[in-house]
């Protein structure tokens, strides 16, 4: 009210000041009598659309989920109608600060490189036990197109199959793949300092025609795209996922890739990976035919003494003839499990939906020779002695009941 004091200092009356400023005379008097300029009473803080959800956000932050994109997705599912900025402003001071690192960025040409890595994700069973699944990631370095797959084992056969699935999803094979010094790729160094490759994986790479390259020792950031891919999956997809089995989990992961990961605007390229992949596909080499790839899609297992093969927590039966310890190949498919002996498919079973399931083949024991086996004893027929029972008319029992009642 600076103007009020100026008018009063010029000698104007209260009535004139009130008329000049368009306020009441009492208002003018209150300002002139006050020892200092009156201040408006503080307004009560306005409620935020985020308030009902803050307890949930704090719980998720305690669980290690601080990605606001994930949190916003979860809040939207609960009915939150507010914006992203207010959520980010609330979460930002509560985040654990991460030390920044400096590195040099290397760019590659389309179709030149893919970066591959294995991580793990933990989950809790209903009984409180903690289990882990392996997470395979493959990132095309130029387009930033991402492929992920969750698996139960991190062995060489699984590693190879994940590569095939990744190349199939991208539509071809790159010139070289970059790895850290995992035993799945390199076993170590010889006495002369030469790299000792994993023979099975090296054979696979040579057959598909891509070169194996290793990142610098103790420098995982040299394959930073794959490292960031692992972290991206853990922070964006994994926190909110609920799954019944491994097949269901990978089905959800494929949907997430198609609707979130590969259609977002990438922070570095400022383009969508799926759009750049459409350009990069022209520079990828085609995969060999399915017949040549089939051996790599199978896992070797040994037959048990009862004719079952144990795979992924369940048992699958073989038709006779089989022998204990025999090596067969298991080829999983969409909802099925195939058993192969060499180039012959000998059995097809539905894929187990829970651990411990057992699938018996109709001819699993048909034709098994019985010579030399101890004959099963026949049950003994016991002849019981014949007993004659005296028969009496019912009137005898009625007379007996009447005598008892009278007594």
CB count within 10 Å of CB 58 equals 13
pLDDT digits (tens, 9 = 90+) for 339-378: 999 888 999 999 988 888 999 999 999 878 765 544 444 4
69 closest CA partner among 232, 213, 218, 300: 232
One-character DSSP codes across 136-195? EEEEETTT--EEEEEES--SHHHHHHHHHHHHHHHTSB-SEEEE-S-TTTEEEE-TTS-E
* 250 Cβ contact partners less than 8 Å away, ≥ 6 residues apart: 149, 150
Average pLDDT over residues 193-214: 90
What pTM did the predictor assign? 0.62
236 vs 253: CA distance, rounded Å: 11
The helix/strand count (H/E) of the chain reads as 13, 14
**Rounded Cα distance, 278 and 262, in Å:** 12
Each residue's pLDDT tens digit, 145-198: 999 999 988 889 899 999 999 999 999 999 999 998 889 999 988 777 788 999
Least confident of 59-63, 81-85, 88-92, 169-173: 59-63
Sign of the C-alpha dihedral computed for residues 376, 379, 380 and 381 taken in this order? negative
Element (H, E) at 308: strand 308-311
Given pLDDT bands bounded at 50, 70 and 90, which one contains residue 392? low
Average pLDDT of span 129-135: 91
Q: Give all strands of the β-sheet with 130-140 in edge-to-edge order.
A: 146-151, 130-140, 113-124, 176-179, 211-214
Task: Spell out the domain ranges in the chain.
Answer: 2-33, 51-94, 113-291, 298-359
Q: Which residues pair with 137 in a beta bridge?
A: 117, 148
pLDDT in tens, 112-126: 999 999 999 998 888
Of residues 30 and 352, more confidently modeled: 352
| Pairwise CA distance, residues 55 & 60, whole Å | 9
Which residue do the tokens 């259609």 mark? 263
How far, in whole angstroms, is CA 135 from its chain's centroid?
8
- pLDDT averaged over every residue in the chain: 82
Q: H or E stretch including 225?
A: helix 224-232
- We find that the CATH architecture of domain 113-291 is 2-Layer Sandwich (3.30)
The yes-or-no verdict on residue 319 having pLDDT over 90 is yes
pLDDT digits 0-9 by tens, 281-299: 999 999 988 777 777 888 8
Answer yes or no: is pLDDT of 49 > 80.
yes
Evaluate the CA torsion angle 59, 63, 64, 69 in order and state its sign. Answer: negative
Q: How does 332-363 read in b/e, with b if 16+ C-beta sit within 10 Å?
A: beeeebbbbbeeeebbebebbeeeeeebebee
Best-predicted range by mean pLDDT (82-91, 218-227, 392-401) = 82-91
Residues 6+ apart with CB under 8 A from 330: 298, 299, 300, 301, 309, 311, 316, 337, 338, 339, 340
End-to-end distance of the chain based on CA atoms, in angstroms? 120
**Residue entry with tokens 């400022």:** 270
- Supply 231's token pair: 């972290």
């Amino acid at each position: 009210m600076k103007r009020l004091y100026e008018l009063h200092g010029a000698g104007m009356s209260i009535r004139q000041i009130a008329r000049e400023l368009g306020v009441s005379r009492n208002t003018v008097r209150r300002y002139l009598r006050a020892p200092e300029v009156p201040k408006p009473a503080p307004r009560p803080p306005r409620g935020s659309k985020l308030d009902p959800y803050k307890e949930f956000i704090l719980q998720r932050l305690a669980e290690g989920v601080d990605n606001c994109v994930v949190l916003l997705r979860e809040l939207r599912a609960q009915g939150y109608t507010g914006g992203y900025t207010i959520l980010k402003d609330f979460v930002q001071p509560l985040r654990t600060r991460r030390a920044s690192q400096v590195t040099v960025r290397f760019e590659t040409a389309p179709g030149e490189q893919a970066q591959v890595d294995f991580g793990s994700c933990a989950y809790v069973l209903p009984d409180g036990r903690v289990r882990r699944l392996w997470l395979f990631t493959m990132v095309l370095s130029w387009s930033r197109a991402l492929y992920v797959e969750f698996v139960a084992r991190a062995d060489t056969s699984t590693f190879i199959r994940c590569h095939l699935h990744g190349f199939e999803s991208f539509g071809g094979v790159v010139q070289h793949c970059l790895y850290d010094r995992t035993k799945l790729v390199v076993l170590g160094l010889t006495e002369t300092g030469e790299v000792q490759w994993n023979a099975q994986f090296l054979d696979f790479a040579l057959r598909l025609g891509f070169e194996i390259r290793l990142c610098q020792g103790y420098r995982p950031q040299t394959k930073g795209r794959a490292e960031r891919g692992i972290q991206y999956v853990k922070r964006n997809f994994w926190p909110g996922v609920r799954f019944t089995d491994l097949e269901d989990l990978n089905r959800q992961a494929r949907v997430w890739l198609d609707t979130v990961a590969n259609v977002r605007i990438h922070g570095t390229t400022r383009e969508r990976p799926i759009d750049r992949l459409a350009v990069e596909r022209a520079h990828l080499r085609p995969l060999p035919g399915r017949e040549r790839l089939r051996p790599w899609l199978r896992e070797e297992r040994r037959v048990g003494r009862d004719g079952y093969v144990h795979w992924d927590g369940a048992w699958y039966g073989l038709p006779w003839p089989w022998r204990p310890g025999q090596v067969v190949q298991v080829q999983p498919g969409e909802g099925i499990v195939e058993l192969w002996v060499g180039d012959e498919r000998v059995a097809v079973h539905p894929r187990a939906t829970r651990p411990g399931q057992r699938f018996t083949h109709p001819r699993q024991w048909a034709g098994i020779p019985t010579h030399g086996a101890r004959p099963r004893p026949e049950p003994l027929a016991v002849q019981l002695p014949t007993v004659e029972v005296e028969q009496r008319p019912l009137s005898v029992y009625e007379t007996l009941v009447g005598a008892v009642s009278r007594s």
